Amino acid sequence: MNVLPFRYITTPIYYVNDRPHLGHLYTSVAGDILARFYKLLGYGVKFVTGTDEHGAKVDQAARNQGVSPQDYVNSMAKAFQDLIHAAHVQADDFIRTTQDRHHRAATALWDRLEKTGAIYLDHYAGWYAIRDEAYYDESELTDGPDGKMAPTGAPVEWVQEPCYFFRLSQFQNPLLDYYHDHPEAIGPDSRYNEVVSFLNSGLRDLAVSRSKMTWGIPIPGSNHVMYVWVDALTNYLTGLGYPDTDCPEFETYWKESIHLMGKDILRFHAVYWPALLMAAGLTPPKRLFAHGWWMSEGQKMSKSLGNVIDPFALMDQYGVDRVRYFLFRHVRFGQDGDFSKELFQQRCNHELADGLGNLVHRVLSFIQNRLGCVMPVCSEIAVPLDSKYGAVHAGAETLGHWASEQLQWWIQMIEEQNIYGYLESVYSGITKGNAYMAELAPWALLKLANSGDTAAAQAMHHGLYALVSFLRDLAIALWPVIPSTAQSMWTQLGLQGAIQDSAKIGKELKNSTRGVFSCFGSDLPAVIGQPSPLFSKDV
């Protein structure tokens, strides 16, 4: 039996000290797009997200509200789960670091690190930024208006406490060797270089516990709690049932792990996390991908400027799919972007309403109004290019095979987390479809057919059949990014059920032949469904 591959996709787990923002939506949708694509291919997929509920920052937020940290995180985690649902993100699991299963995983990892001698007790005296939940060296700080400041602009405080340390310094060479042998482990490439040069500058042992705090995972036999980043990073193991690593599932998925994150937290993932894993005898994640940051109308988003984009309000105003599409079509995944309402509206109106919506409507309303909803018939025909309708037939063949021709490229794009490249290809299909509909001009062919031109009738049927087949494949290709719109296309085409149950690209790929259009299965129905505009109005 041919065993299909597996993928373990994760987002960072989000701090619950505040409401979800656009950055949270961004990584969650990115993970969802990758997971949905792999699910279409028939791969075994686990896509996991969650919330980071311990640490000084969350503790402080609870205090400010005058509630216990546990009550506070319970209410805030819900907002993050609501965001996932609102954005149509199909996560396979949602990890909360206050769950028992996570305590068990984090404690087991800690035990393992202690046993291997990777952790020792000492004393920390230095700077800590609660906003970043990060330790900083004096040399990294600058003077800000309100005192010393971390490179991120976060205020820092002096911390002096007994503390456990992790022997990070011993991992400089192992990590450099690892990245030398696995240049594909970090994307985009520029981030790889950044990590390697950070490693080359040397590593110091890392403080990994807090003794003046209680809101965290207790370290057995001490009055310390785990440093929130050690706690949080372990969630990626919790998602696979750690410490039960002897089940085949753990092995299978961990080998295929892809961690997505914003560029600001790459260092935690590319330096601390693989070192902790190596020390515990586990392999580093297969791939880390750091995306860029969104600004709002040319400025950094900040509460004081009042320009923070609320992801719920955005989706309410414009619809989920427009937002999902724009975030990944406007900016190459990995680069910084600027969210401008004007560009958002322009792109959505031009590409979704005028490009995609019109194409689907033109094809389907022609079949509805002129052919009584009956699907055009198409038998295998070989019409010489130089015959009367040769170009129409050749165009139909090209369009009908477009998706199967693109498939390998799409797989490559998704394997590289190049969602932008994927959408670029899909959008070029929409343009081709519109151009072909104009070239086919079925209304003119129908007129000729009605006056007895059988060759015109055959050309019209072939062309329309190719267009419908193409739209079916387009719906499948769009499903990972704009799932509701894709499902609506599917239903309007007269296809039954849910796309994810009917379309198995991987399975069909094996059986695909050049003789039929599309490699994606699902025969075209005998009659199309009821056409209705995909995008009700311009925004």
Q: Decide: is 339 part of the binding site for ligand ME8 (CB under 6 A).
A: no
Shortest separation between residue 280's beta carbon and ligand ME8, angstroms: 16
Shortest separation between residue 13's beta carbon and ligand ME8, angstroms: 5
Shortest separation between residue 266's beta carbon and ligand ME8, angstroms: 9
- Amino acid letter for position 312: F
Which residue from 265, 279, 407, 474 is in contact with ligand ME8, where contact means CB under 6 A? 265
d(CA 55, CA 57): 6
Q: Decide: is 194 part of the binding site for ligand ME8 (CB under 6 A).
A: no
Which residue from 9, 12, 53, 84 is in contact with ligand ME8, where contact means CB under 6 A? 12
Shortest separation between residue 56's beta carbon and ligand ME8, angstroms: 12
Could you give the 3-state DSSP secondary structure of residue 44? strand
280 or 356: CB nearest ligand ME8: 280
Q: Decide: is 294 part of the binding site for ligand ME8 (CB under 6 A).
A: yes
Shortest separation between residue 300's beta carbon and ligand ME8, angstroms: 8
404's enclosing H/E stretch is: helix 402-415
Shortest separation between residue 381's beta carbon and ligand ME8, angstroms: 51
Stretch binding ligand ME8 (CB under 6 A), from 12-20, 34-42, 380-388, 483-491 = 12-20
Q: Decide: is 13 part of the binding site for ligand ME8 (CB under 6 A).
A: yes
Which x/- pattern, by CB under 6 A, does the window 477-506 give for ligand ME8? Answer: ------------------------------
Which x/- pattern, by CB under 6 A, does the window 14-33 give for ligand ME8? Answer: xx------xxx-xx------
Beta-sheet strands, E only, within 53-99: 93-96
**Residues 6+ positions from 54 with CB-CB distance below 8 Å:** 97, 98, 215, 216, 217, 225, 226, 228, 231, 232
Shortest separation between residue 78's beta carbon and ligand ME8, angstroms: 15
User: With contact defined as beta carbons under 8 Å apart, do 48 and 55 qualify?
Assistant: no
Which residue from 95, 233, 331, 446 is in contact with ligand ME8, where contact means CB under 6 A? 233
Shortest separation between residue 261's beta carbon and ligand ME8, angstroms: 5
- Amino acid letter for position 142: T
Nearest alpha-carbon partner for 495 in 461, 522, 457, 463: 522
Which residue from 175, 301, 367, 460 is in contact with ligand ME8, where contact means CB under 6 A? 301
Q: Decide: is 232 part of the binding site for ligand ME8 (CB under 6 A).
A: yes
CA 233 centroid distance within chain:
18
Measured from the Cβ of residue 307, the count of other Cβ atoms closer than 10 Å reads: 15
Shortest separation between residue 264's beta carbon and ligand ME8, angstroms: 5
Q: Decide: is 264 part of the binding site for ligand ME8 (CB under 6 A).
A: yes
Shortest separation between residue 51's beta carbon and ligand ME8, angstroms: 8
Which x/- pattern, by CB under 6 A, does the window 41-70 give for ligand ME8? Answer: -----------x------------------
Shortest separation between residue 302's beta carbon and ligand ME8, angstroms: 10
User: With contact defined as beta carbons under 8 Å apart, do 119 and 165 qualify?
Assistant: yes
Q: Decide: is 293 part of the binding site for ligand ME8 (CB under 6 A).
A: yes
Stretch binding ligand ME8 (CB under 6 A), from 143-151, 154-162, 261-269, 418-426 = 261-269
Residue 513, phi then psi, degrees to nearest 5? -130, 165
Nearest alpha-carbon partner for 433 in 394, 391, 466: 466
Q: Decide: is 179 part of the binding site for ligand ME8 (CB under 6 A).
A: no
Q: Across the strands, what pairs with 290?
A: 261
325 or 490: CB nearest ligand ME8: 325
Phi/psi class of residue 417: alpha, beta or left (left: φ > 0; alpha: ψ in -120 to 50)?
left
State the Cα angle at 128 between 19 and 233, rounded to 5°: 60
Helices marked H in 166-299: 172-181, 189-200, 228-233, 235-238, 248-254, 266-267, 273-279
Q: Decide: is 261 part of the binding site for ligand ME8 (CB under 6 A).
A: yes
Which letter, b or e, does each residue of 95-104 get, where b requires 16 or more Cβ atoms within 10 Å of its Cβ?
Answer: bbbbbeebbb
User: With contact defined as beta carbons under 8 Å apart, do 510 and 41 qualify?
Assistant: no
Residues that bind ligand ME8 (CB under 6 A): 12-15, 22-24, 26-27, 52, 232-233, 235, 261-262, 264-265, 293-294, 301
